[in-house]
Amino acid sequence: MPGPGKKVKNFVSLRTSRKGIRQVLGDLEADIMELLWKKSPASVREIHGKLARKRPIAYTTVMTVMSRLAEKGMLEREPQGRAYLYSPTQSRQEFCSDAISTVMTGLLGSFGEPVLSHFVDTVGAEDREKLDELIRLIEAKKQEH
């Protein structure tokens, strides 16, 4: 994977009815990225083979989606003979962190205090111990500044 500082283009569109990275990626994009985060670099043929074990899918569909992921900056490709080998430009954790940052920055910029209030209400309703963790994180961040 490339060094720090390589950023994925801002592409986040949130689908709250879905779970995990499928909230920001389509199903096929998410499946491809998950496979590449597990083992990369990989060719379109390798990824297609793994996907085709679970469902019928055209090789050209996989190739198109992987090319688009490269255009978005999520994958890099290196020529290997007549094919390309693809690798994620970020770890799964870095990708998730950037997606969360993009969503939070957008929400805070648009709605400000109501976002913070709702966040605290949601965390508190979910798990009271998470509120204590949130307080600890806030105090640690205040100490940094």
Q: Distance between CA atoms of 108 and 85, rounded to whole angstroms?
A: 39
Residues 121 and 77 in one domain: no
Buried/exposed code over 76-109 (b: 16+ C-beta within 10 A; e: otherwise): bbeeeeeebbbbbbbeeebbeebbeebeeeebee
Query: What percentage of the chain exceeds 70 in pLDDT?
Result: 91
Domain ranges, residue 69: 20-90
- Inside any domain, residue 11: no
What is the pTM assigned to this prediction? 0.76
Domain tally for the chain?
2
pLDDT digits (tens, 9 = 90+) for 13-46: 777 777 888 988 999 999 999 999 999 999 999 9
Q: Is the distance from CB of 26 to CB of 34 less than 8 angstroms?
A: no
Output the domain CATH number for residue 24.
1.10.10.10
Average pLDDT over residues 74-85: 95
pLDDT, residue 37, reads 98
Strand order across the beta sheet in which 83-88 lies:
42-43, 83-88, 75-80
Q: What is the pLDDT of residues 38-68, one digit of tens each?
A: 999 999 999 999 999 999 999 999 999 999 9
Confidence of residue 1 (pLDDT cuts 50, 70, 90): very low
Is the domain of 45 the same as that of 27?
Answer: yes
- Which has more pLDDT, 51 or 109? 51
Question: 122 in a domain, yes or no?
Answer: yes
Residues 100, 60 share a domain? no
Instruction: Please answer whether residues 114 and 101 qualify as being in contact, where contact means their C-beta atoms are separated by less than 8 angstroms.
Output: no
Is 4 within a domain? Answer: no
Distance CA 19, CA 31 (A): 13
77 in the same domain as 37:
yes
Last residue of a domain, one of 67, 90, 113: 90
